[in-house]
């Protein structure tokens, strides 16, 4: 993909209306175009047959239908989780994952950056370094990619988690612009309560999101309750330590009334001891009522960093200790591990259309 035309998703509603006016078209066409782009099965302007042909042609000359081009898709062995390798217009690649849940929900995990600069030790994306930030259109078009597939069988994307490649708060403006497109009733119309932004602990980003007045779910990658262990596996801890991150999460809860999820990848011999579970519970409790927190325990997926996954018994004990201390904890066996679509496994080989994780 080498064209430099903007994708239709990269225009705000106001920009699209202005473009239509300039071309002598009524502004209500904006609603039609955006509805097709977010709900339909169409794969190009030529398929928008309720628009006049002259308008379809003008749109096709001015814009691309999407800012991402699917290169390859893989399905997990159970057929549920799907991972797409997508090419951006400058030839870089990102990954996006669809996680259906027993027909009840269709969650999409989106990337906000190509690569990631945060270098978490257990994460394949972190090994890539940062390639570049994505535009809001490139984030939204990942959801459009899956929405288009789901629409073929009469389903829709119901939830979006910002947990793919990249740190969303390092690309705050584009992330928020994509959120606004997703919650727009004239576009995707997804409730903000069904959106989750996950951060590795960028405190100014947590505070900024808390001030947006949107009831978005926040997930914070904690991964250790003490600074020495967390700094060992997450370099960002040298800037914002455990107490800073927990305090910011507490402020977020107060401002939004949303519960915060703490992500915790279990690494054998690093952060999986019973005493560590007790320290984790104590640290969380220090910063707010336990009812406001939930710990999502993620078994390490073999790959980056060369860590080991703890035994099931040890992981279950860790969860039980947290629960005994009044902290809601779930032990999540990652979906899509066989296609490297699990947490910490997204990675693309730059310059090549291949998945290497
Ligand atoms: S875990 Fe998230 S923040 Fe850390 S390196 Fe991976 S993608 Fe970046």
- For ligand 1, what atom is nearest to the CA of residue 165? 7
Residue 1 is assigned to a structural domain of this protein: no
Quick one: 28 and 119 in the same domain? no
- Please tell me the distance between residue 53's alpha carbon and the centre of ligand 1 in angstroms: 45
The neighbour count for residue 173, using CB atoms within 10 Å, is 10
Tell me, yes or no, if 95 is annotated catalytic: yes
Where does ligand 1 bind, in terms of residues with CB under 6 Å? 116, 118-120, 123, 125-126, 165-167, 200, 344
Cα distance from N-terminal residue to C-terminal residue, the chain: 24
Q: Which of 116, 123, 200, 343 is catalytic?
A: 343
Residue 344 is assigned to a structural domain of this protein: no
Quick one: 36 and 113 in the same domain? no
Quick one: 58 and 72 in the same domain? no
Residue 132 is assigned to a structural domain of this protein: yes
Write down the pLDDT at residue 37.
Answer: 85
Quick one: 281 and 220 in the same domain? yes
SS3 string, 241-269, reads CHHHHHHHHHHHHHHHCCCEEEEEEECCC
Tell me, yes or no, if 109 is annotated catalytic: no
- For ligand 1, what atom is nearest to the CA of residue 124? 6
* Beta strand 159-162 pairing with 129-133: unpaired
Quick one: 30 and 112 in the same domain? no
- Please tell me the distance between residue 168's alpha carbon and the centre of ligand 1 in angstroms: 10
Domain-terminating residue out of 21, 46, 62: 62
Residue 113 is assigned to a structural domain of this protein: yes
Cα distance between residue 116 and residue 109, in whole Å: 15
Contact 176, 198 (CB under 8 A): no
Write down the pLDDT at residue 4.
Answer: 65
Residue 348 is assigned to a structural domain of this protein: no
Q: SS3 for 162?
A: strand
Residue 349 is assigned to a structural domain of this protein: no
Please report, for the domain that includes residue 128, its CATH number. Answer: 3.20.20.70
Quick one: 151 and 276 in the same domain? yes
Burial of 238 by CB count in 10 Å (0-12 exposed, 13-18 middle, 19+ buried)?
Answer: exposed
Task: Identify the CA nearest to 122 among candidates 310, 248, 249.
Answer: 310
Quick one: 201 and 222 in the same domain? yes
Task: Identify the CA nearest to 342 among candidates 83, 156, 100, 102.
Answer: 83
Q: Max Cα separation, the chain?
A: 69
Cα distance between residue 151 and residue 134, in whole Å: 25
Quick one: 281 and 329 in the same domain? yes
Contact 247, 282 (CB under 8 A): no
Please report, for the domain that includes residue 47, its CATH number. Answer: 1.10.150.530
Detail the DSSP E strand segments found in 20-128: 68-75, 82-88, 93-101, 105-109, 113-116
Instruction: Count up the domains in the chain and report the number.
Output: 2
Ligand 1, pocket-test mutation among 167, 169, 197, 219, most atoms within 8 A of CB: 167
Tokens 């080498």 correspond to what residue? 2
Quick one: 320 and 199 in the same domain? yes
Write down the pLDDT at residue 225.
Answer: 97
Residue 357 is assigned to a structural domain of this protein: no
Contact 224, 183 (CB under 8 A): no
Domain encompassing residue 49: 8-62
- Please tell me the distance between residue 220's alpha carbon and the centre of ligand 1 in angstroms: 11
Domain-terminating residue out of 34, 62, 90: 62
Tokens of 333: 């066996």
Quick one: 183 and 92 in the same domain? yes
Write down the pLDDT at residue 151.
Answer: 87
Tokens of 12: 């705000």
Name residues whose C-beta falls within 8 Å of residue 334's C-beta, 6 or more positions apart in sequence: 298, 299, 301, 342, 343
Ligand 1, pocket-test mutation among 200, 203, 221, most atoms within 8 A of CB: 200
Sequential pLDDT tens for the chain (357 residues): 445 688 998 888 899 999 999 999 999 999 999 988 887 788 899 999 999 999 999 999 999 999 999 999 999 887 789 999 999 999 999 999 999 987 789 999 999 999 999 999 999 888 889 999 999 999 999 999 999 899 888 899 999 999 999 999 999 999 999 999 999 998 899 999 999 999 999 999 999 999 999 999 999 999 999 999 999 999 999 999 999 999 999 999 999 999 999 999 999 999 999 999 999 999 999 988 778 899 999 999 888 888 999 999 999 999 999 999 999 999 976 666 666 665 566 676 553 333 322
- For ligand 1, what atom is nearest to the CA of residue 198? 2
Quick one: 162 and 33 in the same domain? no
What does pTM read for this prediction?
0.91
Write the residue with the smallest CA distance to atom 5 of ligand 1.
126
In sign, the C-alpha dihedral spanning 51, 181, 119, 309 is negative
Q: Which of 87, 95, 149, 167 is catalytic?
A: 95
- For ligand 1, what atom is nearest to the CA of residue 343? 1
Cα distance between residue 327 and residue 279, in whole Å: 12
Residue 38 is assigned to a structural domain of this protein: yes
- Please tell me the distance between residue 109's alpha carbon and the centre of ligand 1 in angstroms: 13
Name residues whose C-beta falls within 8 Å of residue 64's C-beta, 6 or more positions apart in sequence: 3, 5, 6, 7, 8, 89
- For ligand 1, what atom is nearest to the CA of residue 199? 3
Quick one: 24 and 130 in the same domain? no
Write down the pLDDT at residue 187.
Answer: 87
């Amino acid at each position: 993909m080498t064209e430099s035309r903007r994708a239709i998703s990269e225009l705000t509603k106001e920009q699209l209306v202005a473009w239509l006016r300039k071309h002598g078209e009524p502004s209500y066409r904006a609603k039609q175009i955006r509805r097709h782009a977010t709900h339909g099965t169409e794969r190009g302007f030529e398929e928008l047959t309720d628009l006049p042909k002259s308008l379809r042609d003008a749109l096709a000359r001015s814009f691309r239908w999407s800012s991402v081009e699917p290169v390859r898709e893989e399905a997990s062995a159970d057929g549920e989780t799907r991972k797409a390798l997508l090419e951006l217009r400058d030839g870089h690649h990102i990954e996006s994952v669809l996680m259906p849940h027993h027909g009840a929900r269709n969650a999409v995990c989106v990337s906000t950056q190509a690569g990631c600069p945060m270098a978490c030790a257990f994460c394949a994306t972190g090994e890539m370094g940062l390639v570049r930030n994505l535009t809001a259109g490139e984030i939204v078009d990942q959801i459009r990619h899956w929405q288009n597939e789901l629409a073929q069988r009469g389903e829709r994307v119901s939830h979006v988690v910002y947990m793919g490649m990249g740190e969303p708060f390092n690309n705050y403006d584009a992330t928020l612009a994509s959120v606004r497109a997703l919650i727009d009733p004239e576009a995707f119309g997804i409730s903000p309560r069904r959106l989750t932004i996950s951060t590795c602990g960028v405190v100014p980003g947590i505070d900024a999101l808390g001030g947006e007045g949107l009831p978005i779910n926040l997930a914070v990658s904690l991964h250790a309750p003490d600074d020495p262990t967390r700094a060992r596996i997450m370099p960002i801890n040298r800037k914002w330590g455990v107490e800073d991150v927990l305090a910011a999460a507490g402020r977020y809860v107060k401002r939004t009334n949303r519960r915060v999820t703490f992500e915790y990848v279990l690494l054998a011999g690093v952060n999986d001891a019973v005493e560590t579970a007790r320290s984790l519970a104590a640290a969380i409790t220090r910063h707010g009522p336990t009812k406001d927190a939930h710990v999502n325990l993620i078994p390490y997926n073999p790959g980056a960093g060369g860590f080991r996954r703890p035994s099931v018994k040890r992981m279950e004990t860790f969860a039980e200790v947290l629960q005994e201390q009044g902290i809601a904890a779930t032990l999540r066996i990652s979906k899509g591990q066989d296609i490297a679509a699990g947490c910490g496994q997204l990675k693309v080989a730059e310059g090549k259309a291949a998945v290497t994780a």
